[in-house]
Amino acid sequence: MKSTWRWFGPDDPVSLEKIVQAGATGIVSSLHHIATGEAWPRTEILKRKQEIEAAGLEWSVVESVPLSNDLKKMTGDWQRHLENYKESVRNLADAGICVVCYNFMPVVDWTRTNLLYKLKNQSHALRFDLSDFAAYDVFILERTNADQDYPEAVLDRARERIAAMGPEQREALERNIIAGLPGGEGSYDRDSIRQEIEAFIALGVEGFRDNLFHFLREVIPVAESVGVRMCIHPDDPPFSLFGLPRIVSTAEDARKLLAEVPSTSNGLTLCAGSFGARGDNDLEGMVREFGPHIHFVHLRNVTREADGSFYEAEHLGGDNDMVGLIRALLDEERDRSSAGRPDAHIPMRPDHGHLMADEFGQEGTNPGYSYVGRLKGLAELHGVLHTLTVLRQS
């Protein structure tokens, strides 16, 4: 597997020099300064690529070329945004960057309720707590009929939580949920997020899926013609939030979108932490079924709770069998090598890391993207990869 590292560009507190020292050989990056819906100019792509290559690294994966809400809803300026998206894909191909990660999550991108969840070893992890989320949705945002989307036991805990929160705690919860996390696109206030939620709910699950399929039918042929492999990221978390339709949460969802436009260019980002937040997603089985379409891998683990809550565990801890998953991915790489595929080595990155050591309390650290936590995670993953590779050769 190809070891990569997410870098948010020149303003990222983690320098390219430190990334080289961590043992990564590829970079996962995006042009966050280009407004969502606008085309990525060749000059800006090449500028970023040259910055990365000057450090002795390669730009392996784009994460992400984001889709605007207009494009996801097929409203407003969506047709111009669609043509701009195609142009961005062509321009990336011209620059030799051929793996593009994207997502089709409505309104909110990846979502957590607690960015500093203290673990037993005193490091801090990201956490999604369903009761805290319900407390925000029902009692702070006051979304219409929100209480109908939660079990009574969750609502009871939500009432207790909201009653115990002071103004600062409520503001922090709202900030975590709707102000946008690293790599997400945009932020909201209460009025604007209510409006977007209502618009997406009106589409319904199948209406929203139809919009994704339209996007695929338009973009995948372009990607295929220029040698780009598109890889959709699953919903994070992989279930409905705010009553919204979520359509990339399960193996069945993946099966449908891959069948809609059969092409190697129509692929998946296998995010172990996102798909793995559902106990009914068999990660190793998904690799065996969808392997030829897996173009990018996020290796992250979670500890799940009965109500759907979870926290981000050690990379080799948690509820998902990381060793078994990596073994399955190595099997897929072996099959690709035997078939002569040029993309036999799948790019992976250590997805998120705990906040620990001297980084705790430092300003500017992106939630989930500490240096030391990801350095630790990548080293552990390298250990697994090396061991499995040696065992195969013996």
Q: What residues pair up with 2 in beta bridges, in sequence order?
A: 347
83 contact partners, CB below 8 Å, separation of at least 6: none
On whether the CB atoms of residues 312 and 350 are closer than 8 A, the answer is no
Strand pairing class (124-128; 310-312): antiparallel
Write out the H or E segment, with its range, that includes residue 382. helix 371-393
Amino acid, single-letter form, for residue 163: A
Distances (CA, A) of 201 to 71, 109, 347: 15, 16, 35
From the CB of residue 3, how many other CB atoms can be counted at a distance below 10 Å? 19
Alpha-helix residue ranges (DSSP H) falling in 135-232: 152-164, 167-178, 190-226
351 contact partners, CB below 8 Å, separation of at least 6: 271, 272, 273, 298, 299, 300
Distances (CA, A) of 128 to 86, 111, 115, 132, 322: 34, 7, 9, 8, 21
Length of the chain: 394
State how far Cα 288 lies from the chain centre: 21
The residues that are catalytic are 233, 271, 298, 351-352, 369
Torsion of CA 174, 176, 178, 179, to 10 degrees: 110
182 contact partners, CB below 8 Å, separation of at least 6: 8, 366, 367, 368, 369
What angle separates helix 167-178 from helix 190-226, to the nearest 10 degrees? 20
